[in-house]
Amino acid sequence: MKEKYSPMMMQYLGIKEQNKDSIVMFRLGDFYEMFFDDAIMVSKELELALTGKNAGAKERVPMCGVPFHSASGYIQRLVDNGHKVAIVEQLTDPGKKGIVERGVVQIVTPGTIFDESLTQNRNNYIACMMTFDFVYTLAFCDITTGEFQVVNIDKQDNILNNQLATMEIKEIVVESNCTYSFHEGIMVSRYDNETFNEKYQDIFKNIKDLKQIKVATLLLNYLIETQKRDLEHLQIIEEINNKDYMTMDLYTKKSLELTENARDHEKYGSLFWLLDMTKSAMGARLLKNYIDRPLLNRQAIEKRLDIVEIFTQQFIQRESIKEILKEVYDLERLSSRIAFGNINARDLKWIASSLKVIPELKQQLYSFNEDLTNQLADQLIDLSHITKLIDDAIIDNPPLTIKEGNIIKDHFSEDLDELRYLRNHGKQWLIDFEQKEREKTGIKNLKVGYNRVFGYYIEVTKGSLDQVKDEFEYTRKQSLSNAERFITPELKDMESKILSAQDKIEKLEYVLFTQIRNEIKKEVHLIQDIAKIIAQVDVYQSLAMLASENSYVRPIFNNNKTLEITEGRHGVIEKVMGHGQYVPNDVSIDEKNPVVLITGPNMGGKSTYMREVALMIIMAQIGSFVPAKYANLTIFDQIFTRIGASDDLISGQSTFMVEMLEANNALRYANENSLILFDEIGRGTATFDGMAIAQAMIEYIAKNIHCMTLFSTHYHELTFLEDKGLGIQNVHASARVDNDHLVFEYLIKKGKSNKSYGVNVAKLAKLPDEVIQRANRVLETLEENNVEDRLVEEKVTIIEKESEVEKYLKTIDPMALSPLDALSTLIELKKLLK
């Protein structure tokens, strides 16, 4: 590199060369500056003024900058836009001669951002993936909480994409030779260091699979490389076994609105919104995790339900626990900040106030007098030594900065107390010193003074100089026309103490703060363990509160593939509408008739009924009570849905194409223990095409998959399938016409619907009267020439006049024919036609 720029700019270019894939934020004084192409691009993205800097060359170098104290917001925006940001800090004192040494102290990426703006109730996972012969192996880490997980999944792209979507991955680390094409919106970071780091061997103690160790090592090394520090807060790596959890693909999670609504992707109106009565950020994150991964193990589900039931029955203890949890801050993220080194004094006070509630929380859990709650209480270890240290050391309302003093209490450090005394009582000391010197020397007009050039001095007039004796240790400092100024070792010592007291106070407070932080750092994993228990308690009280306030019932489970629900409700809609407004429905599905065909008018409640069943099953399998009078359920291993129109215009797919792709997912991967919800399949194409596809799908599910299925349709013609002995039953959303007005009853009743009430719905939508009248006339004509009746008549006629071809066809078994036999049979049939 030619040295055509200034030394500082050459330093920048050297750092940029090492970080080509990152925006380099270069610390200059109170600003982070960006140069060249980085500056041009960032100025546009962040709407900053683009200026220029003289850097030793003829042309000015493009430059833009942001103040260092408000940089986090700018960094967040850049990372949200898919950039990596390399933070370059000054590593030596700017006051010294020569160029200040600088270096990258952290690379912030979408998967490693550690900022207050992170959503409290969501994790921020970074992933790492490797491809092996039969599996994809993935590792996930959230450096803001220290959680670290690994999983092996079948080598199927749909499972991989579903796993990444479930974990909301924004960045994935792969080896540089990886050719897999990930979805848009995921940053792919290539990295190749797989050297096992012995320092972190403890976190690997629970995993034995060499593939998982390899992937976790790659991710760990990438995190250490980008964060430029020890990551002592990382928790023991946990293996996720997907066989323990219900599988739901991305379509299903979106259509059932599990963690966000489909309209604006906010929490409001989702199942998470309904269930989340947690009081802590840790509890909210754990609850979301439960919703994403409902359990399959009946014993594990019953254990959660047992605890929720205990909390439900004992109102006073539950209310006390709820109040205690309000005092708890986000211990997971705070403990990670300790280890990460970006914690402030206020954070320490939050840790102390959170840990202080542990004895009371423990007592309340014991007061339930139940084994399960006692086990939770036993795990809440005493960390009062941490709260005592913080309370003894840190003032009550400390500032956010940790290098400007005023964070450590008086009487915590003798050295600090002395410095503060000097700073606060320096003037008094000088008055006392002056009096003492007058008495010692006998010079009545002796003065102690100060000026900026010479500092503190003792001034003696010329007339009293003969009284200054050698034993006083006065050293001449300055001569004036009528006086001499002296310094003594004691005054000199005090001068340096007074003048440097504030500076020393700030430095000493920072040293003391880091000592306290390092002391607490030793206990980070204990704090994380406590955070986990608090999160569980919070989820249990939340689910119990919900059950108590809304008359939810504990579900029971059966092994004979039966679904019996009495007066079931859709919890989310009930909450939006207000208690008592929702019309409850019964559900009765058994092994003999697992496929339920739902007919009835639009807006009659068919989709709501289907979602209600699915949400109730998910709630039950996460360990929640359910909105019903009675619920006897079977455990489902997968849920597939196709609900609602969703054109994928970006990739040029119509509603019908998206519908077929989503339906195909269910038909390919469902088994007899799965649940399928299909809403209006086939409506995106021509009527007869749609009807044919819908019938074929229902028959395929009934004959081949044998799983519980709720299938709503406008094709009333399909209701004849109930009589085919395939295990299909008809139900319908009831409605009636009163005085020419359509009234929805929102009740699902047995049997088929005879009318679709489409014209009545059009009238409700206030279409012009002329259109409504014309539609009624056309409908009457169509009903008079009933297509279904005509088809039946045709069928009868054909049966009466059965042809030779048909007789011959009945004798053929197509599956038993070889290709040659099939050809000769076709020739024979053609001859018969002639």
Q: Which residues contact 774 (CB under 8 A, 6 or more apart)?
A: none
Measured between alpha carbons, how far is 41 from 384 in angstroms, rounded to an integer? Answer: 51
How far apart CA 831 and CA 572 sit, in angstroms, is 65
Q: How many CA atoms lie within 13 A of 547 on its CB side?
A: 29
Q: Residues near 688 by Cβ (< 8 Å), separated by ≥ 6?
A: none
CB atoms within 10 A of CB 590: 15
Alpha carbon distance 676, 379 (integer Å) = 41
What are the CA-CA distances from residue 61 to residues 24, 27, 37, 55, 749 (Å)? 15, 16, 10, 7, 76
Q: Give the residue from 86, 37, 31, 28 showing the smallest Cα distance to 62.
A: 37
Tell whether residue 52 is among the known ligand binding residues: no
**DSSP assignment of 661-730:** HHHHHHHHH--TTEEEEEESTTTTS-HHHHHHHHHHHHHHIIIII--EEEEE-S-GGGGGGGGGTSSEEE
Is residue 818 marked as binding?
no
Both tokens assigned to 303 = 């254990």
Take residue 550 and report the two structure tokens written for it: 């809304």
Residue 438 CA, chain-centre distance (Å), reads 72
Check the annotation: does 602 bind a ligand: yes
Query: Has 606 been labeled as part of a binding site?
Result: yes
The residue type of 22 is S
Up-side HSE of residue 821: CA atoms within 13 Å toward CB?
7
Instruction: List beta partners, residue 408.
Output: 394
Instruction: State both tokens at 87.
Output: 């933070």
The partner residues of 750 in beta bridges, in order of sequence, read 731
Determine if residue 603 is labeled as part of a ligand binding site: yes
Q: Residue length, the chain?
A: 834
Environment class of residue 819 by beta-carbon count within 10 Å: exposed (0-12), middle (13-18) or buried (19+)?
Answer: exposed
Tokens of 222: 């990438």
Residue 167, CB-side half-sphere exposure with 13 Å CA sphere: 27
Which amino acid is located at 609 in the chain?
Y
Q: Is 138 within 8 Å of 215 (Cβ atoms)? A: yes
Angle between helices 281-292 and 606-622 in degrees, nearest 10? 110
Q: Give me the helices (H) in 190-280, please.
A: 210-227, 250-255, 271-275
**What DSSP character marks residue 83?**
-
Please check if 267 is assigned to a binding site: no
Q: Tokens for 80?
A: 């949200």
Q: Which residues pair with 661 in a beta bridge?
A: none
Strand partners, 733: 748
d(CA 461, CA 143): 69
CB contact at 8 A, 699 and 726: yes
Residue 318: φ, ψ to 5° = -65, -45
Residue 424 in marked binding region: no
SS3 state at 737: strand
Cα–Cα distance for residue pair 174/151, rounded to 1 Å: 15
As annotated, the binding site includes 600-607
As annotated, the binding site for ATP includes 600-607
